[in-house]
Amino acid sequence: MNIKQLKKELRLDNSKLAFFFDLAPTSFANSTAKSRYEQALCRFYEYLKEREPEETCR
């Protein structure tokens, strides 16, 4: 999964991503670490999705 897919699936924008890292939106947008933040979020999301409990039928 890439950041575009993640943003679309979770309805995120750069302002919301900046909030997660306690940054101002402009600081996040201009950060040299932005790609690492985005990659970490994608990896974390994939990790959670892989370990999501299976839905059970009732």
On whether the pTM is more than 0.85, the answer is no
Q: Which residues of the chain have pLDDT under 50?
A: none
- Of the candidates 6, 16, 4, 14, which has an alpha carbon nearest to the alpha carbon of residue 49? 6
Residue showing tokens 């993640």? 6
- Quick one: pLDDT at residue 55? 60
- Quick one: pLDDT at residue 47? 94
Residues 6+ apart with CB under 8 A from 32: none
- Quick one: pLDDT at residue 46? 94
